[in-house]
Structure 1
Amino acid sequence: MSVTVARKLWQRVAAYAHHDDPMVAACNLIALVVAFNQPFYPLYVHWAVSEHIWPTFFTFLSTPVFLAVPALARRSPTAGRALLPLAGIANTVLSSKAFGQASGVEIFLIPCALIAATFFRASERLISFAIIGLAIVVYLALDGAYGFPAHFYSASEHQAFLRLNALSAGTLTVFVGLVASGILSRRA
């Protein structure tokens, strides 16, 4: 791919993510980063966990939803911002079912709750609290209720999954924090 093609592609992605409201633009950016990272998850699982990666393909069901965040945000900025953590929560539930609760994938509920806590205004606290509450309810209510995973991973594979998911969710949490601090620094 030539530099010119790459630059034009990047400009189109940046234009798609752009919004005059910095909180909406931040959620758009986070959603696209998550969507663009999803195709690499099977590779991470293969390298770090197991050669049995076929359950990771279930995570691609959420990719179009993450990609739709900026489009929805153009019609309704609040709905677009809400879709991001809701898609994350849904993807976490789907992944917990696919990999098993022992994979530790529920740790992704933390950045989902952080997004809900960070990117809604004081006048939108009800939405923020509802999404945070949903993340907590999912964690508590689905404990032990996922049934059999799509593939039975060994205890050592689940331990590797836990490390991978902790690193991934931690990285996403730091990224969300950096994006939020960028907004705050522009206001100061």
Structure 2
Amino acid sequence: MKSLARLWRCLNAYAAHNDPMNVAANWIAIVVAWNQPFYPLYLWAVVGADKIAPSFLTFLSTPFFLAVPAVARRHPMIGRLMLPMTGIANGIVSTKAFGTGSGVEIFLLPCALIGAALFRPSERAAGLAVIAFGAGVYFIPDRFYGLPLAAYSAADNAAMVGLNALSATTLIVFIGLLLSGVVAASEKRDVRHRAGNSG
């Protein structure tokens, strides 16, 4: 228990930031990186051990997700931008690895949500760029990716679609909960600001 408590304190300190939007982005990045090592196990459960090798390519993005809080300390907006751009790049790699029939492109939706919600009006160009890039990737023709890196059957694809849809939905709900916290933190800050001005 002490080890878990120590790990939690370390993660909480690493995710900490004076901007609630960056706190949300940092936690999203940490949770995604934390879950990536489990994806091959989930895949093993639905398609078998002989077809999980392509999933190890997704680990290429893990260091970038883990670096988001560190980057955000020096450059807050760049840190937030790094999160969805890494997610989109991982989506491209994953689509090549598993094929378009796997439904892995659904992970572009959380990336678009981050682009829409984690940038201020003054940073709207960055948010719109994320959304546009994600939309552009979604419409990449299937022939660009070629064949997947393993021989997935129609049943395998159906199982992966279900797995990816569940994972993406869970991530979207988590992002929504974090964003509600951002709104609450912003409201508290506005109240304190008004109270300070009235005094």
Q: TM-score range by the shorter chain?
A: over 0.9
Structural RMSD (CA): 1.0
Report the equivalent of 1:24: 22
Following superposition, the deviation at residue 186 of structure 1 comes to 3.1
Q: Which runs of 4+ in 1 moved over 6 A?
A: none
Counterpart of 1:22, as a letter, is P
Q: Tell me, in whole angstroms, the C-alpha distance in 1 between the residues paired with 2:138 and 2:132.
A: 10
Counterpart of 2:140 in structure 1 is 141
Residue 144 of structure 1 and its aligned partner are, at CA, apart by 3.5
Mapping of residues 82-121 of structure 1, within 5 Å? 82-121=81-120
Give me the identity figure in percent: 54
Q: What corresponds to 2:156 in structure 1?
A: 157
Paired residues, number: 186
Task: Give how far 1:20 is off.
Answer: 0.7
**Cα deviations by residue, 1:4-59 (Å, 9 ceiling, x for unpaired):** 22211211111011001000011000000000000100111111233221111111
Where do 5+ consecutive residues of structure 2 fail to align?
Answer: 188-199
Is 2:20–2:186's contact at 8 Å kept on the other side of the alignment?
no
Assess, with a 3 A threshold, how the Cα gap between structure 1 residues 99 and 180 changes in structure 2: closer, same or farther: same
Deviations 1:156-185 (A, max 9, x none): 000000010011111111111110011112
Q: Identify the residue that residue 15 of structure 1 maps to in structure 2.
A: 13
Displacement after TM superposition at 1:102 (Å)? 0.4
> What do residues 107-159 of structure 1 show as CA deviations (whole Å, max 9, x unaligned)?
00000000111100000000000110000011113443201111110000000
CA contact (8 A) 1:46 1:53 kept: yes
Q: Give 2:131's aligned residue.
A: 132
SS at match of 1:141: coil
The amino acid across from 1:172 in the alignment is L
Corresponding position: 1:166 with 2:149: no
| Partner in structure 2 of residue 43 of structure 1 | 41
TM-score by length of 1: 0.96
Contact 1:101 1:144 in 2 (8 A): no
Whether contact under 8 Å (2:40, 2:55) holds in the other structure is yes
